[in-house]
Chains A and B, each alone.
Chain A
Amino acid sequence: DTAVSQTPKYLVTQMGNDKSIKCEQNLGHDTMYWYKQDSKKFLKIMFSYNNKELIINETVPNRFSPKSPDKAHLNLHINSLELGDSAVYFCASSRTVNQPQHFGDGTRLSIL
């Protein structure tokens, strides 16, 4: 059973398009996250949600909008995609804050 699952695994699209990445966790966790890994493999937090409420938004452009319909899901919508958005996006979850985080397998986004 996959604990944190992301779809799609790969996403290739044109500049200017709007796309979404879905994340679901079946661990019963209260806290979920989105991280971005750039081409140099540096990982950086984008958003943190606790009990469906946004608790961290790390200076991410407002073209990125997370949506949490329930505690098990945290989806990432990206509008007007730019070349610089090409990266691997990881979803993660933890039982609550200050607990170990478990990561999904990542979504590789490529902008043409």
Chain B
Amino acid sequence: GIQVEQSPPDLILQEGANSTLRCNFSDSVNNLQWFHQNPWGQLINLFYIPSGTKQNGRLSATTVATERYSLLYISSSQTTDSGVYFCAVDPAGYALNFGKGTSLLVTP
């Protein structure tokens, strides 16, 4: 099956700092999504981005499908950004395959 690798696995930032999270995948995909799992366990849909660039407030994402990677940018991080960020890809259109996530802690 398709492999999804996320880096870094863990990240600690001071409030106000910027960061880039990376997702590499091993095959072409029809769907790529970024999620934030907050400390209460909810999976929040951040971006649906099989290709191109999108921005939503302090967050933006870029997927280069031909090179099989996606990047999630977090600018001016806040403590509420803490949690686990998952990249998930769907090669066939029927199910998301998740990476292991990047665990982010933003300190005051």
Instruction: List A residues at the B interface (Cβ < 8 Å).
Output: 33, 35, 40-45, 48, 50, 55-56, 58, 88, 90, 97-103, 105-106, 108
Contacts and interface: CB of A to CB of B under 8 A. Distances in A.
Given A33-B96, A88-B41, A99-B31, 11 more contacts: A44-B98, A45-B96, A55-B94, A56-B94, A98-B30, A98-B31, A98-B90, A99-B48, A101-B45, A103-B43, A108-B41
B interface majority secondary structure = strand
Interface of B: 30-31, 33, 35, 37, 41-43, 45, 48, 84, 86, 88, 90, 93-98, 100-101
Contacts, number: 54
B98 A98 contact: no
A102 B31 CA distance: 13
Contacts of B45: 100-103
A31 to B, nearest CB: 8
Contacts of A43: 86, 88, 96, 98
B48 A48 contact: no
Contacts of A103: 35, 42-43, 45
A108 B100 CA distance: 19
B32 to A, nearest CB: 10
A56 B86 contact: no
A90 B94 contact: no
A79 to B, nearest CB: 23
Nearest to B40: A105
A58 B33 CA distance: 20
Nearest to B97: A45
Contact of B96 (A42, A88, A101, A106): A101
12 contacts: A33-B95, A35-B96, A41-B37, A42-B98, A42-B100, A43-B96, A43-B98, A56-B95, A101-B45, A101-B96, A105-B42, A106-B41
